[in-house]
Amino acid sequence: MTPSIRDIAYQLRQGQLIALADETGWSVVADPVNDLAVEKLLTLRTLMPSGLQPTVLIQNADQVGLYVAKIPDVAYDLVEFAEIPLTVIYDQGKNLSALLWQSTETGAAGQPMGEVAVRRVLNEEIQRLIGSFGRGLLSIPLESLVLPPVAVTIIVERFGALPGMPKRPRIMRLAVNGEISFIRK
């Protein structure tokens, strides 16, 4: 039986890891504020292709502000109008598990801060899942049509449909002052 969006959102709230198929291939996702789930997810960090980092998947551009402390105005347009997968790396992340940042730097309210990668998913079914869950999903992007055996052992469900050929997202860095630099075109 195929799990429903409601079932998957429930599993995520319980701290489970989910294999998610979208336009970029497989990713493994977790609740970004659940420290136990994030700790389990980060054990898969070594499976990511070179140059990638854990990424927050969001439903729409309005959610960027939930995860980035200082956002240049151009950020919303970059995210909203991207027609191909685009991962944007911002300088100051917030509202995520402290396990993501190795740095001890903290913000004014004691929130940990560091780089955060954010990608708006283009797949409508995954967008509905994120909307149902109520916040973004922290992912380990695998950019593959096959889940590694070690990932299969710790996930509880698979969700989404794989594309015929995954699209590698463009990756860019967006500084607080609006300066843009591409990491992968």
> What is the per-residue pLDDT across 151-174, written as a single tens digit (0 to 9) for each?
999 999 999 999 988 899 999 999
Domain range for 109: 5-184
| CATH number for position 34 | 3.90.870.10
Supply the DSSP string of 34-49, one letter for each residue: -HHHHHHHHTTGGGSP
Would the pTM of this model clear 0.85, i.e. be above it? yes
User: What is the amino acid identity at position 162?
Assistant: L
pLDDT, tens only, 85-144: 999 999 889 999 999 875 434 444 444 468 999 999 999 999 999 999 999 999 999 999
- Rounded to an integer, what distance in angstroms lies between the CA atom of residue 25 and that of residue 27? 7
Question: Which strands, in side-by-side order, build the sheet including 116-120?
Answer: 155-160, 17-22, 25-30, 137-141, 55-58, 116-120, 86-90, 170-174, 180-184
- Rounded to an integer, what distance in angstroms lies between the CA atom of residue 90 and that of residue 179? 11
Tokens representing residue 116 in the block: 């955060």
